[in-house]
Structure 1
Amino acid sequence: MNDLRVFSRIRRTLCLATVILLALVTSARAAGLLLYETGAPDLGTASAGRAAMAGDASTAAANPAGMTQLDRSQLLTASGALLPFTNFDVASQTTTSGGGGGNAGVFSPIGGFFYVYRLSEKLRLGVALDSNFAFTGNYGKTWVGRYYVTYESILSGTVNPSVAYEVNDWLSVGAGVSFSVARLKFQSKVNNALPRAQDGGLAFESWDEAFGGNAGILLKPIAKLRIGLTYQSPEDYKFGFRPHLTNLGPILNRIRNRIGGSKINIPMEVPQQVMLSGLYEVTPYWSLMGNVGWQNWSAFGEFPVGISTAKQRTVEANLHFSDTCQIAIGQQLRIGEKWLWSAGFAYDSSTVSKNNRLPILPIDRQLRYGTGIQYQINKDITAGAAWEFMDAGPAPYSARRGPLAGTLQGHYSTNYLNFVGVNVIWKF
């Protein structure tokens, strides 16, 4: 009988250790969403034509080669907000009690600073400060999926200096390096597996930095056509943290020091991406544009997890992510001499199938609808505003992670992200 009790306690301990490790792994990897939106004018085209437009200083980030198309030095500032609406509908196979969590979306600021300096007729220098990797969700402590996640956030900021050179009338090239800083924060509840026992808690926070680079070319085979091709390198973060465990019951408390005192090292690779864009001036007042793109999310899903204890251990993990593609179309119409109206649509495929989707990343295929307006105040200053609506899909999943976390099944009745931004361009 005593042996059975010991075995039962060991089994529960191993189960908790597994649940905690999986929570750490999946949250650190899947809490991010790679975004195109910075509040710059291309928000109005849903990023369509992003690598070919070269219409303002934000091309320093979108395609550095496009800086050669700016006839003067230029400064662009953009600011705005990400307003998400994410509501989870609980399905019948869910085994834990609780509610749907309400709107888990959390307001996040967006924005950027872009500067291009005209060093000579053929040479340009540029710098971009922006963020393209962000997501925050807060489901609350009584959510039915609280043993998977209650709060998650990853925010990043990047500085990207670059240089561009006009080789001849039809070819320009550009490249830059980037330095990024990111913060990862996560919270969840822990099931103490005892009748009437309160839930325990799991939390961690980590900062890290990463280096990367981008390069691009801009072609003008004919006067009315521009073709842009860009490459963004991967950026490798290595988040290290010691999990903070609270209010564990008497059975699970035995491993508090062992788990809580161990340092978890989880690498996270922001995917490399390639984008091909085109812009065609149908008339002097109306242009059509589009993109095809690829992001290497399969590399993001495979990674080693390091556990720093007396004996260093490494566990290989795979979240079964897939590479994604993007297709976008858009237009810009000049109304009179001072107004420019933009509109666009983009489709991004899903990073993960229904069978492999996680509660941490409630993202399905993505549909983006954008529109924006710019007004030329005078020959030096232009102001603009844009709005983009993103439908992130129903993102259904059925997550099963042992008896403590239980089964969580459902989909999102609303899974929408609204991006609003204003921008000012100053030429000098």
Structure 2
Amino acid sequence: MKGIVRKAAAAATVSVAALLVAGAAEASSFAIRSGQSAEGLGMAYAGAASGGIGLGSMAWNPATITMFPGRNSQWNYTYLNANASYDPTSTTRLGAPNGPASPVQNGTGNLGGDGAGIPASYSAWQLTDRFWIGLTTGAPYGLRSKPENQVHAAQVYGRSAKVTTINVSPTIGYKVNDWFSVGAALQIQYFDTKLKTASGIAPAAGPVIVEGDTIDFGYRIGATLTPRDGTTIGLAYRSSIRQTLEGSFRTPVGIVPIKANLNLPDSVVFGVSQVINDQWQAHLGVEWTNWSRFRRIPLVNELTGGPLAALPSLNFVYDDSWFFSTGVEYKYNRDLTLRAGVAYELSAVNDQNRTIYISDNDRLWLSAGGSYQITDKLKLDLGYTYIHVNKARVNYTGAHPQQAAVFYTAEAKPYIHIVSAGLTYRWDNPAETIPVQPVVRKY
């Protein structure tokens, strides 16, 4: 028995990789889609690439900046409340699937904690009848996970996790002619993570902590087409960002400086927005994210220049993800617009690679929201989404990429509530004539 306990304690350091994608993820893995726009949230982000969600579309397709005449700014704040609890579905055992029972058998309790707030902002400034500049800020990735039960049967696979990103993107857009626009944005991204797991199976086991941060760069490019009055088509690409983290690996016996290179996924997004009549608009969206490039992340001991002996790499094995959305808007009167949307996402995570805190699976979005034009310059947006996530199962019984000496199976039933509010302000006079007005505009 003592030998099994020592083996579990040593193998726990390998399992810290599970923490990097903790929590009831709002989008596939640890991406954050919902924090980008209150207007978009109310329509499940349908038409994001074609300008259908207002200024927030700039986060998907920089070419949409040309759809907003004058000088505009938008500020959004989103509260995300994710809920998931892993409950064991069999006796947790040590050493082998039929080994002795672990002294701790309880589940994690709710992983979501008190939820999290997510800010995002957008500004677009029309310089000429064809040229725009702007700036977006947001958090495309993020995570906060802390189980109610810090002592639980799978504590060697993780105790808490925090991932924070801040993305600032200077943006330019050019209107080539009345039906074709292009845009580009530089991504300047700060990435910070702190991951904790237990060093053994005992309730008093000390922590193992991996932490690090970095600032790195990427880009976005896109285009919009208006082939006829009332129809807008958008297509955009977001590059991968190679994050070069520097930090430390801490155990109860010491601290080692480390570095790690991880490739965050690139993506392609497509959208269509169609004016039906004076009151109705319809929107569609498709997004593909290349999560399969996020895998087998090596950790380097900066003292030796070689692999970290206790944790040579983070062995993720993800699939690519897909997001499909559709939504409608109804202009109730001059000032009030109502909207709703539905979406379905095919997750990057499955029953073979899911970790104890990645209560992620295919999911259904149900969204509703509205906008109210308070004055000719100021607009209020509100959005709400409920996300139903399919049952999430973990199976650490020998074949899991992060398998340690604890053999554990469990199931969670995740669900997520998201609410968001946004204010859009136009700094110039909307009554002023601006050359070459866009065919379809949202402000």
TM-score (norm 2): 0.85
Superposed CA RMSD in Å reads 2.4
> Who is 2:141 aligned against?
133
Alpha-carbon separation, structure 1, partners of 2:332 and 2:235: 29
Question: What are the residue-to-residue correspondences of 1:174-185 with 2, within 5 Å?
Answer: 174-185=183-194
Identity of paired residues, percent?
A: 21
Alignment length (residue pairs): 403
Matched, 1:228 2:234: yes
> Who is 2:327 aligned against?
330
Alpha-carbon separation, structure 1, partners of 2:363 and 2:18: 21
> Who is 1:349 aligned against?
346
The 10-residue stretch of structure 1 (49-58 or 150-159) with the greater mean CA deviation from structure 2 = 49-58
> Who is 2:424 aligned against?
425
Matched, 1:282 2:276: yes
Could you tell me how far 1:242 is from its partner in structure 2? 2.4
| Residue 149 (structure 1) aligned to one of 147, 158, 168 | 158
Q: Secondary structure at the match of 1:236?
A: strand
**Cα deviations across residues 342-375 of structure 1 (Å, max 9, x unaligned)?**
1111111121221221113221112212111100
Alpha-carbon separation, structure 2, partners of 1:71 and 1:159: 22
Could you tell me how far 1:29 is from its partner in structure 2? 6.3
Q: Is the 8 A contact 1:181 1:208 kept in 2?
A: yes
**Cα deviations across residues 280-320 of structure 1 (Å, max 9, x unaligned)?**
11112111111111100000124333233436237466422
Q: Secondary structure at the match of 2:40?
A: helix
Query: Structure 1 residues 302, 17: CA separation in 2 closer, same or farther (over 3 Å shift)?
Result: same
Larger relative contact order, structure 1 or 2 (CA cutoff 8 Å, min sep 6): 2
**Cα deviations across residues 361-402 of structure 1 (Å, max 9, x unaligned)?**
221112212111100112111111111112232111112479
Q: Secondary structure at the match of 1:57?
A: helix
Could you tell me how far 1:243 is from its partner in structure 2? 2.2
The 10-residue stretch of structure 1 (310-319 or 122-131) with the greater mean CA deviation from structure 2 = 310-319
> Who is 2:407 aligned against?
407
Query: Structure 1 residues 280, 179: CA separation in 2 closer, same or farther (over 3 Å shift)?
Result: same
Alpha-carbon separation, structure 2, partners of 1:280 and 1:311: 56
**Cα deviations across residues 180-217 of structure 1 (Å, max 9, x unaligned)?**
11221111212267xxx842221233222221110110
> Who is 1:121 aligned against?
129
Letter of the 1:122 partner, please give it. R
Query: Structure 1 residues 265, 132: CA separation in 2 closer, same or farther (over 3 Å shift)?
Result: same
Could you tell me how far 1:263 is from its partner in structure 2? 2.9
| Residue 312 (structure 1) aligned to one of 292, 297, 306 | 306
Question: What are the residue-to-residue correspondences of 1:6-85 with 2, within 5 Å?
Answer: 16-20=9-13, 22-28=14-20, 33-37=30-34, 38-53=36-51, 56-85=54-83
Q: Gaps spanning 5+ residues in structure 2: where?
A: 24-28, 94-101, 429-443
Question: What are the residue-to-residue correspondences of 1:106-255 with 2, within 5 Å?
Answer: 106=113, 107-139=115-147, 140-191=149-200, 198-246=204-252
Letter of the 1:237 partner, please give it. Q
**Cα deviations across residues 14-67 of structure 1 (Å, max 9, x unaligned)?**
8754431x2243434667611212243111111111011256322332211111
Structure with a larger share of its residues in helix: 1
Q: Gaps spanning 5+ residues in structure 1: where?
A: 1-7, 247-255
The 10-residue stretch of structure 1 (31-40 or 123-132) with the greater mean CA deviation from structure 2 = 31-40
TM-score (norm 1): 0.88
The 10-residue stretch of structure 1 (124-133 or 401-410) with the greater mean CA deviation from structure 2 = 401-410
> Who is 1:103 aligned against?
110
Q: Secondary structure at the match of 2:65?
A: helix
